[in-house]
Structure 1
Amino acid sequence: MILSRKIISASISGTLFTVLLGFIWTNPFGDNITSIQNYLFSVISVTPIYMMYSMPVIMIYGILTSIISDKIGEFISIKAKETNAEIFVSGALHIVFSLVLFWISIGASLLFFITDRLLKSRNKKYEWLEAIKSLAIPLLTWLILMGIVWGYD
């Protein structure tokens, strides 16, 4: 089922995206980072904030636009009788739909696209229970990081 695969893709790529964003954009509040320990704590502190704002967008907007991109890509691939057209059209549409926040959302979109393609290449039918279980990935990541922040304070 396509929707369950998209939910799994969003859970994995959304979590990966927010963690990477935490490492890249560590200091959104302008604090001084004076040591590696300070840097790592900033990453741990800011990542749950990124998750709270980006995960709902990835789960709703990302899944919806990814399904639309894939369906349009499949349609064009069938009409053009070119099997490789589907991946290129779908990838291009993922990027077009991600132009909302430009560089930040393009990174999330590319991670989503790659994750989804890897899951699709496994030729496995993903069930709803697997999709629901995959939601534990961002939830547990958020809880662990928030536990570290609360424990540190």
Structure 2
Amino acid sequence: MEVNKILSRKIISASISGSLFAILLGLIVPNPFGDAITSISDYLFAVVLATPLYLMYSFPAILIYGVLTSIISDKVSQMISTKTGNEKSEIIISGILHGVFGLILLLYSLGASMLFFITDRLLQKKNNNYKWFQAIKSLAIPLAVWLIFMGIVYLEHIVNGG
């Protein structure tokens, strides 16, 4: 029962943080290919174009690798804090382990892992009993983000006669 509750929360965390990560990365690195951005409209279109691309590549990794390593980080930190008798150290150790696992692709994955960690802690703080159905429904978040951004790309293509 405990595993189902944790896994459901981690999947929801992945859905939220993976979507946020793609949007933030699109805003920070709107043009991964290095073309010049000369206007606000170029920047905005580059963000809209890059975000679904980032989402397609990052979300599966965040969902699979992120959920797995987050569970490991939490379990190891719980064991260490229990053995040392210092339960307050659990969140710090878990955060450090999330960071270590997040270093796989340096800054990009470190940012994603910290976003995942914060999202998961916020969900954990709400102390809801997350169910499988909620976890499955949460997968609609990245899908909706992808559809919205691709819809904007499509509309821009139609308006500008592409």
TM-score range, shorter chain: over 0.9
Q: How far, CA to CA, are the matches of 2:78 and 2:32 in structure 1?
A: 40
How big is the alpha-carbon RMSD for the aligned residues of Structure 1 and Structure 2?
0.7
Corresponding residue for residue 50 of structure 1: 54
Which aligned runs of 4 or more in structure 1 are off by greater than 4 angstroms? none
Aligned pairs, number: 153
Can you give the 5+ residue segments of structure 2 that lack an aligned partner in the other structure?
158-162
Corresponding residue for residue 63 of structure 2: 59
Corresponding residue for residue 108 of structure 1: 112
Corresponding residue for residue 144 of structure 2: 140
Residue 35 in 1 paired to residue 42 in 2?
no
Could you tell me the percent identity over the aligned residues? 63
Can you give the 5+ residue segments of structure 1 that lack an aligned partner in the other structure?
none
Corresponding residue for residue 103 of structure 2: 99
Residue 14 in 1 paired to residue 18 in 2?
yes
Structure 1 residue 150, shift from structure 2 partner: 1.5
Q: Deviations over 1:101-136 (max 9, x none)?
A: 111111000000000000001111101111111111
Q: Deviations over 1:22-45 (max 9, x none)?
A: 000111112221111110010000
Q: How far, CA to CA, are the matches of 1:140 and 1:92 in structure 2?
A: 31
2:121 aligned to which of 117, 120, 124: 117
Corresponding residue for residue 82 of structure 1: 86
Letter of the structure 1 residue corresponding to residue 14 of structure 2? A
Letter of the structure 1 residue corresponding to residue 92 of structure 2? F
Q: How far, CA to CA, are the matches of 2:44 and 2:11 in structure 1?
A: 29
Letter of the structure 1 residue corresponding to residue 86 of structure 2? E
Q: How far, CA to CA, are the matches of 1:88 and 1:30 in structure 2?
A: 37
Query: Could you state the TM-score of these two structures normalised by the residue count of structure 2?
Result: 0.92
